[in-house]
Structure 1
Amino acid sequence: MAIGYLGPEGTFTHAAARELCPGTELVALATQAQAIAQVEDGTIDGAVVPVDNTVNGVVLPTWDSLLLTTESRIVADVLVPVTFNAYALDADVAPEVVASHPHALAQCARYVGSLGVPSRVTSSTAEACASLAPGEVAIAAPVCAELYPVATIATEVEDGAGAITQFGLVTRDDVRPTTERWTTVFAALPERNAPGSLAALLGPLSALGCNLENIVARPVRDSVDYVFLLFVADLDADREAAALESLGARCSGLSVLGRLAATKPSGPDGASGVPVRLASVGS
C-alpha cells in the first residue's frame, strides 16, 4: 500500500500518517487536493490530511477537495498535539520575513507579531524549513530540527499550549469506525435556495435526537446555492441510516464525506473562550 500525506517530511501530517498507517509506504505530496485526487483516481491507496483544529476550526481545503470526488471519504482519524518552534539558517542574522503554513502563523500570532516583519505563506510547516532563505524565520514542528539544516532560535512559540489537530485517513472504502459512536460528516445540497431550506434539513435531525456538532456552508460555483457540511455526532449505524433518510428526503444532493471516531478535543490552554463581542449578555 502507498499512503500520501501533506509533505515534506516533518509536517504534523507526516506524524499523523505514521500513527494511522504504521509500516506503510508514505508518499509526500504538495497539497490536500493533490493527495485526495490521487486517492480518487487510484494512484495511491489512501491519504492522510488535516480535517480540524482546536484553534482555527475545520480545514476547508480538505473538505473542498473531498467535495470534488465521488468515492473518497474519511474512514479513520487521529488527534495530534501541536507545538511550534522557530528556526533560522543563521541564528545571528536579524529576521526579515517569517514563513509558515497559515494555520501555524495564526497559532503563533503573538510571536509572529513580536518579530515585526512580513510573513510568507507556505504549503506546510515543514516546507517553511525546506525553503528557508537567509534572513527568514520558519515556524515548524520540533522534529524539523532533526530533518533540516536549521538553527533553533525559540521553542514553544504558540499562543496557547494544548492545541490539537485532527487528521483523517481518506480512502475509497466505505467502512465505519469500530467505536460505539462516531461523527458523520454529510454534504447536503438543499432542494432549493429559499427561506427555511436549512431549517428544513436541521429540524428532522433534532427530532431524531442527533447532535449537530458543526455546520459549514460552501458556495456552489456559478450558482446562488450552498452545500452544507453537517457534522452530526453520536451516531451509530442505525442513527446514521435514519439521518441519511431524513436528509435525503429534503436534498437534491447528499453524500457522506467521512466518519470521525476520535473524541472532539477541547481548545488549548489560554484560549480566548467566548469572543469579546459575544461575552456580554444583552449587548
Structure 2
Amino acid sequence: MKIGYLGPENSYSYLVAQKIKSPEDTIAQFPTFIDVALAVGNLTDKAVLPIENSLEGAVSNTLDILAWECELYITKEILLEINHKLIMKKSGDFNNIKKIITHSQAYGQCRKFLAKHYPNAEIIYTSSTSKAVESIEDDYTAAIAGEHNLNPNLKALPEVIQNDTNNITRFVVLEKEPKHQKTNQKISIIFDAENKPGGLLKILQILRAHNLNMTKIESRPFKNRYGSYIFFVDFFGNINDQNVQKAFEEIKNSTTNFKYLGNY
C-alpha cells in the first residue's frame, strides 16, 4: 500500500502519513494538493491532506478538490497537534530577520506574533512549512515550521509562536472507494441549497427531523454560479442506519447538487 502526502519530507502531512502507515506501507511525496489527490488510484492507494485547522478554519484547497476535482472518499480522519516555531540558521540573529517564509495557513495561525515582533518583515509564501525551512538561504531569513524540521545547522525560538497554544489540524485519508463499517460514526456530504430565504434551513431541518447531529458546516462558492454556494456538512451517523438513508433521499430530492464524501 502506498500513501501520498503533501511534501517535502517533514511536512505535517508527512508526519500524519508516517502515523497511519503500517510496516508494509510506503509513502510518497507530491508538490501540490491536487497532485496528491490525482495520484490516488494511479500512483498511490491513499492520500493524506489537511482539511481543517482549529485556528484558521477550513483548508479551501482540500474542500475544492473534494467538490470539483476528484472522485475520492474520506475513509479516516486524524487530529494532529501543531506547534509552530520560528526557525533560522544558527549563524543568524532573531533580532535581524528581514524575510519570513511560510505556508499561508501557518502565517494565519501565527499572525499576531509576527505583527508584534516582525511587523516590517517581508512575508514569502510557499507550498508547505517544510518547504519553507528548505528555502532558508541566508542569516536574515526565517521560516515558520515545526521543531521536527531542525537540523544541526538550524535553530528555533524557544517559544511556540502561534496565536493560540491549542492548535489542532484535522487531516483526512482519501481513497477511491468508501469504507462502510458498522463502527464508522461520522459522515461527510456536500450539497447546494435554493438561493432564497430558508433555502439552507430546509436542508438542515431534514437532518434535525431524522435526529442527526451536525458537527460542522462550511460553505464554498458554487463554481460558475456567482452568488451561489455549496455546503460541506459533517454529522454523526452510519451509512447503514435507516434514518441516514431516509435523510439522504430527502436531501437529494431537495437539491440540485449532492455528493457523498464518506463514512469514517
**Fold in common (TM above 0.5):** yes
Change in CA separation of 1:5 and 1:193 when aligned onto 2, cut-off 3 Å: same
Write the distance in 2 (CA, Å) between the matches of 1:119 and 1:158. 16
> Aligned partners of 1:61, 1:70: CA distance in 2, in Å?
12
Aligned pairs for 1:26-105 (under 5 A) are: 26-39=27-40, 42-69=42-69, 71-89=71-89, 90-92=91-93, 94-105=96-107
Q: What is the rounded CA distance, in whole Å, between the counterparts of 1:6 and 1:119 in structure 2? A: 21
Give % identity: 23
Q: Which runs of 5+ in 2 are unaligned?
A: none
Pick one of 194, 198, 201 that aligns with 1:199. 201
Q: Does 1:165 align with 2:169?
A: yes
Cα distance in 2 between the residues matched to 1:203 and 1:253: 17
TM-score of the superposition, structure 1-length normalised?
0.83
Give the corresponding residue for 1:254.
258
CA 1:105–1:177 in structure 2 vs 1: closer, same or farther (change >3 Å)?
Answer: farther
Residues 178-257 of structure 1 mapped to structure 2, 5 A cutoff: 179=183, 181-182=185-186, 184-190=187-193, 192-224=194-226, 225-235=228-238, 237-238=240-241, 239-257=243-261
Choose the corresponding residue for 2:108, options 93, 106, 127.
106
- Residue 178 of structure 1, CA deviation: 5.9
Question: 1:108 and 1:170 mapped to 2: Cα distance?
Answer: 28
Equivalent-residue separation in structure 1 for 2:82 and 2:156 (angstroms): 17
Q: Give the secondary-structure state (helix, strand or coil) at the position aligned to 2:211.
A: coil
Structure 1 residue ranges without an equivalent (≥5): 261-283
Per the TM alignment, residue 186 of structure 1 is displaced from its structure 2 partner at its CA by 0.7
Report if aligned partners of 1:74, 1:259 keep a CA contact under 8 Å in 2.
Answer: yes
The residue type equivalent to 1:142 in the other structure is: E
TM-score after normalising by structure 2: 0.88
Report the number of matched residues: 256
Cα contact 2:185–2:263 (8 A) shared by 1? no
Q: CA RMSD in A?
A: 2.1
